[in-house]
Amino acid sequence: MKDIEFNLNSKEIHPNSEIKGTISVNYPGRYDGVVINTTIMDSNEHIIYKSYNGKKISQNVSRLFINKDVMADNKAEFTAIISFEPTKIHEIKFRASIIEQHKEIESQIIFAQYSA
């Protein structure tokens, strides 16, 4: 089993549709939390994270850190949205990483497609 397991509900993403993801950490050592970074290729636009583990995020954030203290059973769920209207298909790179003392321990990358 990998140290981090990262999944999205769909790899076909459309404007204003809710993106749901889950992260499971199986890392045997100590860690501070997980961070999710997203890049929309060929674009200056950003993803906006809306919630994690049922808790709403009050400000718009494009990079999400989830502290280990709020990860029951070392699991996290999040929701996000992308709202710009694409004029072409964009590849989206999601990277979930385990963080320990400001260092990345392990990560997993998922690619998705964003289109109208």
Residue 77 clears pLDDT 80, i.e. is over it: yes
In the CATH scheme, what is the homologous superfamily, with its name and number, of domain 4-114? Immunoglobulins (2.60.40.10)
59 has a pLDDT exceeding 90:
no
Alpha carbons 2 and 81: distance in angstroms, whole number: 27
For residue range 17-42, list pLDDT tens digits in order: 999 999 999 999 999 999 999 999 99
pLDDT band at 62 (very low <50, low <70, confident <90, very high): confident
Q: Is the CB of residue 82 less than 8 Å from the CB of residue 15?
A: yes
Give, for 50, the enclosing helix (H) or strand (E): strand 48-52
**7 pLDDT above the threshold of 90:** yes
- For the chain, the 3-state helix, strand and coil shares in percent, each to the nearest 5, are 5, 60, 35
Confidence band (pLDDT; 50, 70, 90) for 46? Answer: very high
For residues 87-114, average pLDDT: 97
Report domain extents, the chain: 4-114
Please check the confidence at residue 60 and state whether its pLDDT lies above 90. Answer: no
Residues in the chain: 116
